[in-house]
Amino acid sequence: MTADSILDDRTSSDFDDDFEPFDLEGAPELEPERYLDREISWLAFNQRVLELAEDPRIPVLERANFLAIFASNLDEFFMVRVAGLKRRIDTGLAVPTNVGRSPHDVLSDISAKAHELQERHAAAYQQLVEPVLAESGIRIVAWSGLGDVEHEHLRSYFSKQIFPVLMPLAVDPAHPFPYISGLSLNLSVRVRNSRTGRQEFARVKVPQMLPRFVRVDPGESIEDARYVTLEDLIANHLGDLFPGMEIVEHHVFRVTRNEDVEIEEDETENLIKALEKELLRRRFGPPIRLEITDDMDDVTLGLLVRELDVTEQEVFRLPAPLDLGGLFDLSRLDRPELHYPTHVPTTAQQLQPSDSNLRADLFTAISRQDVLLHHPYESFATSVQAFLEQAAADPDVLAIKQTLYRTSGDSPIVEALIDAAESGKQVLALVEIKARFDEQANISWARKLEKAGVHVVYGLVGLKTHCKLALVIRQEKGGLRHYSHIGTGNYNPKTSRIYEDLGLLTADDQVGKDLTRLFNELSGYAIEKKFKRLLVAPLHLRKGLLKLIAGEIANAEAGRPCGIRIKVNSIVDEAIIDALYRASNAGVPVEVWVRGICSLRPGIPGLSENITVRSILGRYLEHSRIFSFVNDGDPQVYIGSADMMHRNLDRRVEALVRLNDPAHLAEIASLFDLAMAETTSSWWLDGSGEWIRHATDEAGHPLDDMQNRLMQQIGQRTRSGQRPRSGPRR
């Protein structure tokens, strides 16, 4: 089935604006227009991550982890966003951005901001984090600062564990300049031939499979240990790699390549084979960023710039060490006092086993009432994972249908589906093999599932299937009953421990029928245009949300209770933003809680003075999506997988489910009350696009950490068996 059969007649890329935003009567003239640039807004998000690394109140290994997250985020930004923008410029396909600026100007702005942030990132490590690590007994030392005993031990380690893996590559008339793989750390080496006196160039790749930080003396206590970087250790043994040659210069460099995947799909091609070919091409994408240590000489830099064909603005000169993503290794050190306090997720109260049973009967529990899950405060393993495992083992279960976008490498979810198929159940797995950077893993899972007898499908040509859905069909009392899970996050037990997400477990017959029709649409040829409790993209999600926003505007104009609360990872879609502007002009209070990109400009008189935007970052990645409407006192609240971006609304299958239980509505209202409170630590967005951190009160006392507060509240609620009872805000 093709996407054309269910898409409306308008699609747009993340870069192309092919429709006119709604007119706003009486709106002031704004420069630049009424949206914030999405790329600059993303960089502002990563700056907020960096501000956590700079915060001395956060445990130091967590600060090191935030430095690594910043680096990893920026790598992906260059590989995908910057690479995509450059590709469109080079092919002549680029059009003005969402704020009407030329792609060349935006690329220049991105470069300037990225240079500024990478320099700040390096300074945060050198001046703020590394000294505190040293005070805590984690010392990153240079080879030159070690004595003979340490040198002897490290020489032995190098000879046995590192030297055999290294592959020095010379550059001369017989050896062309080598291919530099993306994100690899490399040593550029200039050597002088002792016989001819001629200088030559060579490259040594730092092996990525070896530890980035090497213990100087494994006998040292973990509370007081010294480490050298792998590249420093290799650099001081270059004589072993180039015997008889004089080492003239050596420097570290790193290349980022275009690793976005572009697949031209048609109904006749084998999608897996096409994707595998594209994944091979990804490795050889053109360079888009060259990072070098600040001590690199001009001769070496000139050679790299010429051979890699990069521009001056694509060169980032930084102090060593490069690739602070390597700090992920250090951040995992077993030093509990240097981490956040341990948090053990609780089992949702409705799913807890009775005193007489070691394991709860989840079908009985779900049949009594809908269960709203909040991960990682409530356990994924004892809820969603247990639900699917029980379904796989239950002889009364006839069929399981599930979407898989990203999952863990040793996924118990996939194993449950395999077990179910091998026991004779009908099992359908919709595997999204185009999930960026998880393509190869998902191809492997798809093949493993197929071998076990699972019906594996890949969704619709031209669309990614991003919704998080599971449906279990069970024989009960002479009939069939539907048990459903609709979530905001992936079926990944590992990320469920660090991603904040919501999920609904329900035996509601209407939800089950909606999911049955949706799965039929995804695996077959049925075209269902109406759902009762779901809003589904790409056909109806944007339209449904616009209708709900219009309802709040009508209520405001009639003097009835109104209000809009939205929580998303990103909000870029102009139609949604313009509708929120209209709501603000009508007097509707609008609260937007966003983790990442926000193209909406709040607080502009005559446009958005009734809109408030907050962002919260912390130990958990805020990932849930919520859409809440007061609706004249009859709240309409949805949770699901969709962000307010063109790709989610136009080029992905997304699903939101409406919550009905009054306790669940009260819980969502309480969550927003906490997030938007002035006593909660958060970042506030102003109309110019600046995010201002509010972490302390006027007396300098720390504001509430929302995630810590939720840990306490949900833990107490689980122990007492109580969920919020107060009604949602009117």
Q: State yes or no: pLDDT of 10 exceeds 80.
A: no
pLDDT in tens, 521-533: 888 765 556 789 9
Identify the pLDDT of residue 610: 97
pLDDT in tens, 534-543: 999 988 999 9
Q: State yes or no: pLDDT of 343 exceeds 80.
A: yes
List of long-range contacts for 698-702, beta carbons under 8 Å, 24+ apart: 702/57
Please give the C-alpha separations between residue 277 and each of 273, 377, 457, 461, 653, in angstroms, as whole numbers: 6, 41, 20, 17, 25
Most confident of 3-17, 70-84, 217-231, 567-581: 567-581
Quote the DSSP letter at residue 210: S
Could you tell me how many residues make up the chain? Answer: 730
Q: State yes or no: pLDDT of 502 exceeds 60.
A: yes
pLDDT in tens, 123-151: 999 999 999 999 999 999 999 999 999 99
pLDDT category of residue 23 using cuts at 50, 70 and 90: very low
The gap from C-alpha 320 to its chain's centroid, in whole angstroms, comes to: 27
pLDDT category of residue 605 using cuts at 50, 70 and 90: very high
Q: Quick one: average pLDDT of 656-685? A: 97
Of the candidates 121, 250, 375, 466, the residue annotated as catalytic is 466
pLDDT in tens, 562-592: 999 999 999 999 999 999 999 999 999 999 9
Tokens representing 279? 């994944």
Average pLDDT, the chain: 86
How far apart are alpha carbons 659 and 639 in whole angstroms? 8
Tokens representing 285? 């994408």
How far apart are alpha carbons 674 and 681 in whole angstroms? 10
Stretch (H or E) spanning 658: strand 652-659
Q: State yes or no: pLDDT of 435 exceeds 80.
A: no
Q: Are 60 and 338 in contact (CB under 8 A)?
A: yes
Q: State yes or no: pLDDT of 219 exceeds 90.
A: no
Identify the pLDDT of residue 281: 52
How far apart are alpha carbons 43 and 76 in whole angstroms? 12
Alpha helices in 489-630 (DSSP H): 509-523, 541-557, 574-585
Identify the pLDDT of residue 273: 54
Q: State yes or no: pLDDT of 624 exceeds 60.
A: yes
Identify the pLDDT of residue 524: 73
Identify the pLDDT of residue 429: 87
How far apart are alpha carbons 579 and 546 in whole angstroms? 7
Which pTM was predicted?
0.88
Name all domains of the chain by residue range, CATH numbers in brackets: 19-26+535-720 (3.30.870.10), 112-338 (3.30.1840.10), 349-529 (3.30.870.10)
How far apart are alpha carbons 417 and 471 in whole angstroms? 12
Q: Collapsing DSSP states into helix, strand and coil, what is residue 705?
A: coil
Identify the pLDDT of residue 88: 77
Q: Quick one: average pLDDT of 335-353? A: 93
Q: State yes or no: pLDDT of 20 exceeds 50.
A: no
Alpha helices in 220-361 (DSSP H): 230-235, 238-241, 271-282, 298-308, 327-331
Identify the pLDDT of residue 440: 60
pLDDT in tens, 164-214: 999 988 886 556 788 888 899 999 999 888 777 788 889 999 999 999 999
Strands, E assignment, 124-178: 138-140, 169-171
Identify the pLDDT of residue 670: 96
Q: Quick one: average pLDDT of 96-114? A: 83
Q: What percent of the chain has pLDDT over 90?
A: 65
Q: State yes or no: pLDDT of 262 exceeds 80.
A: no
Identify the pLDDT of residue 410: 66
Identify the pLDDT of residue 715: 82
pLDDT in tens, 35-88: 999 999 999 999 999 999 999 999 999 999 999 999 999 999 998 889 888 877
Helix, strand, coil distribution of the chain in percent, nearest 5 = 40, 25, 40
Q: State yes or no: pLDDT of 274 exceeds 60.
A: no
User: Is 694 labeled as catalytic in the residue annotation?
Assistant: no
pLDDT category of residue 393 using cuts at 50, 70 and 90: very high
Q: State yes or no: pLDDT of 606 exceeds 50.
A: yes
